[in-house]
């Protein structure tokens, strides 16, 4: 039953993508749109084949910056969220600062980070950290703070220490919230890496888009955008698989034996 449900889910996704591409192709044909304005899917595919030898290093550059920034930002966010849960004074100090930081467009900060950290990988990673940090800390803090009243009463009765409460209750309870934060942070980390490449870089998909814009190569721009979307989707799917495995293991006692098999 679970297998059939998964097949139907993936089939609907594939059909949606196929339908979108078909409508796109029909629009280009029906309105006789020039390729520099809106290239057809076929022309985008041809551009991909022509430039596939260039894409590898650019995907690696953007992916490395995004994944590194996401990883570092997530770890820092979880550490700070854990500290905030145990210190409400610190939470009241930090949260307004985080909200102020979140209200500042990261495109405005990108030139500053490039001046501070140079045009290499470091600036990509730093911007990816900054832009992905907020959803991670908010979701993690929420997960660590949300404990059932009866569980709190039981822990108080058992005289459980802070470390025991953190490891046995708070962290397991925060797992779904952490993965929810990761799913939001994944595309943001990629956006952060691309923003850094827009400002100043010599590699990456953002840099490739700038080159394509300067040459009015619209099909190549679409290729870079599709590759970015594919990279984001691949990271999202990987996190979703890990989440499913962890939650299935955590709640295995609630799942009937026939469904687990």
CATH classification of the domain holding 116? 1.10.3720.10
Q: Which pLDDT does position 67 carry in this prediction?
A: 95
Is the same domain home to 22 and 41? Answer: no
Of 74, 114, 118, 133, the residue nearest 195 (C-alpha):
114
Is the same domain home to 25 and 142? Answer: no
Average pLDDT, the chain: 85
Is the same domain home to 22 and 146? Answer: no
Number of domains within the chain: 2
Is the same domain home to 69 and 147? Answer: yes
- Residue 255 predicted with pLDDT over 70: no
Of 116, 242, 111, the residue nearest 186 (C-alpha):
242
Is the same domain home to 186 and 83? Answer: yes
* Contact (CB, 8 A) for 237 and 214: no
pTM above 0.85, yes or no: no
Distance CA 244, CA 1 (A): 17
Is the same domain home to 150 and 186? Answer: yes
Is the same domain home to 126 and 139? Answer: yes
Least confident of 61-65, 118-122, 221-225: 118-122
Is the same domain home to 3 and 42? Answer: no
Q: Tell me the per-residue pLDDT of 121-169, one tens digit each, with 9 for 90 and over.
A: 898 999 999 999 999 999 999 998 887 766 666 676 676 677 777 777 7
Is the same domain home to 17 and 53? Answer: no
Of 229, 218, 203, the residue nearest 123 (C-alpha):
203
Of 36, 69, 107, 106, the residue nearest 189 (C-alpha):
69
Distance CA 62, CA 201 (A): 11
pLDDT band, very low/low/confident/very high, at 254 (cuts 50, 70, 90): very low
Q: Which pLDDT does position 153 carry in this prediction?
A: 65
Mean pLDDT of 234-253: 81
Q: Which pLDDT does position 258 carry in this prediction?
A: 46
Q: For residue 119, give both structure tokens.
A: 């045009």
Of 238, 101, 103, 120, the residue nearest 179 (C-alpha):
238
Q: For residue 241, give both structure tokens.
A: 């698989």
16 — phi, psi (to 5°)?
-65, -45
- Helical H runs in 86-203? 88-103, 106-117, 121-145, 149-157, 162-165, 171-199
Distance CA 104, CA 109 (A): 8
Is the same domain home to 15 and 59? Answer: no
Q: Rounded to an integer, what is the distance from CA 194 to the centroid of its chain?
A: 13
Distance CA 58, CA 54 (A): 7
Distance CA 82, CA 103 (A): 23
pLDDT band, very low/low/confident/very high, at 39 (cuts 50, 70, 90): very high
Least confident of 33-47, 64-78, 79-93, 158-172: 158-172
Least confident of 58-62, 65-69, 172-176: 172-176
Domain assignment of residue 20, given as a range: 1-32
Q: What angle do CA 183, 186, 191 make, to 5 degrees?
A: 140
């Amino acid at each position: 039953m679970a297998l059939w449900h998964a097949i139907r889910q993936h089939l609907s996704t594939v059909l949606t993508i196929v339908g979108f591409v078909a409508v796109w192709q029909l629009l280009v044909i029906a309105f006789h749109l020039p390729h520099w304005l809106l290239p057809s899917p076929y022309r985008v595919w041809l551009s991909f084949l022509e430039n596939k030898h260039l894409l590898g290093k650019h995907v690696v550059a953007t992916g490395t910056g995004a994944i590194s920034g996401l990883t570092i930002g997530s770890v820092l966010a979880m550490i700070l969220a854990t500290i905030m849960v145990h210190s409400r004074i610190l939470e009241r100090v930090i949260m307004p600062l985080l909200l102020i930081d979140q209200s500042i467009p990261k495109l405005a900060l990108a030139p500053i980070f490039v001046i501070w950290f140079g045009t290499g990988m470091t600036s990509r990673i730093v911007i990816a950290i900054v832009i992905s940090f907020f959803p991670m800390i908010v979701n993690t803090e929420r997960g660590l703070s949300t404990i059932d009243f009866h569980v709190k009463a039981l822990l108080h009765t058992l005289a459980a220490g802070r470390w025991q409460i953190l490891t046995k209750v708070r962290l397991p309870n925060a797992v779904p919230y952490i993965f929810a934060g990761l799913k939001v942070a994944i595309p943001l980390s990629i956006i952060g890496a691309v923003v850094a490449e827009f400002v100043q870089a010599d590699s990456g998909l953002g840099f490739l888009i700038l080159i394509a814009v300067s040459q009015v190569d619209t099909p190549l721009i679409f290729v870079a955008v599709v590759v970015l979307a594919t990279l984001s989707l691949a990271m999202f799917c990987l996190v979703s698989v890990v989440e499913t495995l962890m939650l299935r293991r955590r709640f295995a006692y609630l799942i009937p034996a026939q469904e687990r098999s």
